Amino acid sequence: MITLYTFGPAFGLPDPSPFVTKAEVLLKMTGLSFRTDAGGFRKAPKGKLPYIEDDGTRIADSTFIRQYLEKKYDIDFDRGLSAEQRAIGWAFEKMAEDHLYWALVDSRWIDDENFARGPAHFFRRLPAPLRPIMIPMIRRKVRNALHAQGMGRHSREEIVRLGMHSIDAIANYLGHKPFFFGGEPSGVDATMFAFVAGTLCPRFESPMRDAAERHDNLKRYVGRMAARYYPGAAEIAGCKAAA
């Protein structure tokens, strides 16, 4: 059986990591049986989650997980899509993963109030005397990653402006369609759902969340994806699960 290594549900989200959520939804889309394990971070082959283990093979990174599933189980997440749609799907995915993601990291990890509301809870299991050492150290690591990626060199106002542009692009492309490319979900929906839910997450206060909330179609989209892939959940990211 396939094991997906996760952080575990948090903040009203299937997982605090949109990459883990993406991988989980992709696995749900396959219909294959799999289990999740929230204890594998220390053994992560690339120092990040998600990764999967299947028949003794470990595959790290949500995109490589997708490609592995496609090849090994002969699955095409984009069945029925044109080459043009596949190209658009890839571009939107990478916009979310390599651009919007960093605006979310800034909002959750660098903004002090959001940090206290969210990521600070990850450290609750640490012995209390270690927290004042570990928390600033990990936040410094995140700040350095943001700086190296480039997003962290902008002011908060500029970061928010960039993030909102991505959110608007997703909302405008989705339009009135039930899913990103029409009546049925495809691979890109796993990613769009994960990142839009992450942005709408009511645990965090941000102008980016306010902007996402102004798009009714995004809230309905998250509810629709929740109804299909998390049928046991009444709501995800504050969006009522409804088909």
Q: Which is nearer to ligand GSH, 101 or 180 (CB)?
A: 101
Binding mask 115-154 for ligand GSH (x = CB under 6 A): ----------------------------------------
Q: Given candidates 6, 17, 114, 191, which one binds ligand GSH under the rule CB under 6 A?
A: 17
DSSP string, the chain: -EEEE----BTTBS-S-HHHHHHHHHHHHHT--EEEETT-GGG-TTSSS-EEEETTEEEESHHHHHHHHHHHTT--TTTT--HHHHHHHHHHHHHIIIIIHHHHHIIIIISHHHHHHTGGGGGTTS-GGGHHHHHHHHHHHHHHHHHHHSGGGS-HHHHHHHHHHHHHHHHHHHTT-SBTTBSS--HHHHHHHHHHHHHH-TTS--HHHHHHHT-HHHHHHHHHHHHHH-TT-SEETTEE---
* Interface pattern 35-54 for ligand GSH (x via CB under 6 A): ------------xxxx----
* Cβ distance to ligand GSH smaller for residue 51 or 180: 51
Which residue of 3, 32, 38, 63 would you call a contact of ligand GSH, by CB under 6 A?
A: 63
Is residue 186 a contact point for ligand GSH (CB under 6 A)? Answer: no
Residues that bind ligand GSH (CB under 6 A): 17, 19, 47-50, 61-63
